[in-house]
Amino acid sequence: MITIKQISPTDTYNLRLEVLKTNKDYIYQYKDDFNIKTIHYGAFLEDVNVGIVTMMKNKNPLLEGKQIQLRGMAVKPKEQSKGVGKELVKKVVDVSVEKDVKILWCNAREHVVDFYKKLGFKIKGKRFYIEHVCYHYLMYKEL
């Protein structure tokens, strides 16, 4: 069974490095990790942290309305395709709705666009490159 729990900023670092790091210059500590409004969630399978996501209060100039950015979404490779990522996004959606947030957005890595599409996100604008990472699309979900 998958359990989602709030975790500390530093609890996200191992999985960010294991799953998201693209090269030696990848920045795994985000500027607002310790902001009081930032929330980090971990997904646990039998008490082992196998997935992470971070929600940050951050407005994208291309989107309107009260917003939250979803960041640092990662599931351990051997636990992928078991619904862990879906549960993490569901948690962020539920908490965002409670906070009366209208738009959930993320910079989605090109190869996971279909994951977000399945969860109701849409693409906005053109593909863009994030330095030291890869091509991304701005994706958003109306809540």
On whether the CB atoms of residues 53 and 33 are closer than 8 A, the answer is no
Count of alpha carbons within 13 angstroms of residue 65, beta-carbon side: 13
Residue from 45, 63, 95, 112 touching ligand COA (CB under 6 A): that is: 112
The footprint of ligand COA on this chain (CB under 6 A) covers a number of residues equal to: 19
Q: Is 80 in the site for ligand COA (CB under 6 A)?
A: yes
| Closest approach of ligand COA to the CB of residue 16, in Å | 10
Structure tokens, 121: 């996100």
For residue 126, the tally of other CB atoms under 10 A from its CB is 7
For residue 143, the tally of other CB atoms under 10 A from its CB is 18
| Closest approach of ligand COA to the CB of residue 120, in Å | 11
Residue from 74, 92, 93, 103 touching ligand COA (CB under 6 A): that is: 74
Between β-strands 39-45 and 2-7, what pairing exists: parallel, antiparallel or unpaired?
Answer: antiparallel
Please enumerate in sequence order all residues whose Cβ is within 8 A of that of 120, keeping only pairs 6 or more positions apart, or say none: 141
Q: Is 4 in the site for ligand COA (CB under 6 A)?
A: no
Q: Is 82 in the site for ligand COA (CB under 6 A)?
A: yes
As a whole number of angstroms, the distance between CA 16 and CA 28 comes to: 6
For residues 13-52, which are near ligand COA according to CB under 6 A? 19-20
CB closer to ligand COA out of 98 and 114: 114
For ligand COA, the binding residues (CB under 6 A) are: 19-20, 73-75, 80-86, 108-109, 111-112, 114-115, 118
